[in-house]
Chains A and B, each alone.
Chain A
Amino acid sequence: MLHLVNKSPFERTTLEACLRRAAPGSGILLYEDGVYAALAGTSFAPTIANATNAFDIFVLAPDLAARGYAPDAVIDGVRTIDYDGFVDLTIEKQSVQSWL
Chain B
Amino acid sequence: MSDATETADGLVTKRFLYVNRKAPHGTVYALEVLEMILVAAMYEQDVHVAFLDDGVFQLRKNQATEELEMKDFSKTYRALEDYGVEKIFLEKESMEERGLTPDDLVIPAATIDRKQMTELMDSMDVVLSA
Contact = CB atoms under 8 A, between A and B. Distances in A.
Contacts of A40: 99
A58 interface: no
A32 B70 CA distance: 12
Contacts of B24: 67
A60 B36 CA distance: 31
Contacts of B60: 67-69
Interface residues of B, number: 25
Contacts of B25: 32-33, 63, 66-67
Contact of B98 (A7, A36, A83): A36
**Do most interface residues of chain A lie in helix, strand or loop, or is the interface mixed?**
loop
Given A6-B26, A66-B25, 11 more contacts: A10-B53, A10-B97, A32-B26, A33-B23, A63-B25, A63-B68, A66-B63, A66-B65, A66-B68, A67-B23, A67-B24
Interface of B: 22-27, 53-54, 57, 60-65, 67-68, 70, 72, 74, 96-99, 104
Interface of A: 6-8, 10-11, 32-33, 36, 39-43, 45, 62-63, 65-70, 83
